Amino acid sequence: MSQSETEGLVSKKKPASYVIKCKCMRCGLHFAGYSWDWDWRPACCPECGQQEGAFVIWREPSEQQIFEHVPGRAELTDMGLPA
């Protein structure tokens, strides 16, 4: 198999995850979600709580698994437990 054929196979590989980048149209908060599903969308804004679907949404395929994004190499600074 030639290199160009191999590159074609790699480019058609399903992404490991998607970074779903969002902007709330009510309060302007920018935030991101990570999903295995291309069509994931936020149910509500984490800042103002609007649930009307008023978001601008960008979807970015990623070769990284979700755990490589979150937490990735970030420092653990807080952890709350459910009541």
Residues in touch with Zn ion (CB under 5 A): 24, 26-27, 29, 45, 47-48
Task: Tell me the closest approach of the beta carbon of residue 51 to Zn ion, in angstroms.
Answer: 10
Task: Tell me the closest approach of the beta carbon of residue 40 to Zn ion, in angstroms.
Answer: 18
Q: Which is nearer to Zn ion, 8 or 30 (CB)?
A: 30
Nearest to 64 by CA among 72, 76, 53, 55: 72
Instruction: For residue 18, report the phi and psi dihedrals to the nearest 5 degrees.
Output: -130, 135
Give the DSSP H or E segment for 23.
Answer: strand 17-24
Q: Which is nearer to Zn ion, 7 or 47 (CB)?
A: 47
Task: Tell me the closest approach of the beta carbon of residue 32 to Zn ion, in angstroms.
Answer: 14
Q: What's the token pair of residue 14?
A: 């399903």
